Amino acid sequence: MKKHINIKIHGQVQGVSFRYYSQDLAGELGLAGFVRNESDGTLYIEVEGEKEKLDEFMEWCRKGPGSAQVEKVEMGWGEVMGYKDFVIK
């Protein structure tokens, strides 16, 4: 059964290829949704798929790519939107 998570990531998360790495990982895990930079310097992600794959994705988001410095991750469950793939906005 598919689940949906809304994620907001704070810290040094823009300009460090976070969006591209998250897109690659989502593809590997068979997840769908999107990632975008926000004007306040955070990243916003909506992602959906099987719960165990979402757990793996969330675990990665807590550290991100090597050059990122994640300070805080906020997440909440949402309504499944039926995304077909994972895109960078």
Determine the average pLDDT of the residues in 68-85.
Answer: 97
What's the pLDDT score for residue 41?
A: 98
Give the global pTM: 0.96
What's the pLDDT score for residue 42?
A: 98
Beta bridge partners of 78: 4
Residue positions annotated with a catalytic role: 19, 37
What's the pLDDT score for residue 13?
A: 98
CATH number at residue 32: 3.30.70.100
Range of the domain at 57: 2-88
Per the structure, the count of domains in the chain is: 1
- pLDDT tens per residue, range 9-42: 999 999 999 999 999 999 999 999 999 999 999 9
Q: How confident is the model at residue 79 (pLDDT cuts 50, 70, 90)?
A: very high
Report CA-CA distances (Å) from 24 to 4, 18, 32, 58, 75. Answer: 18, 10, 11, 14, 20
Per DSSP, which regions of 1-89 are E strands?
Answer: 2-12, 32-37, 43-50, 69-78, 86-88
What token pair was written down for 10?
């704070």
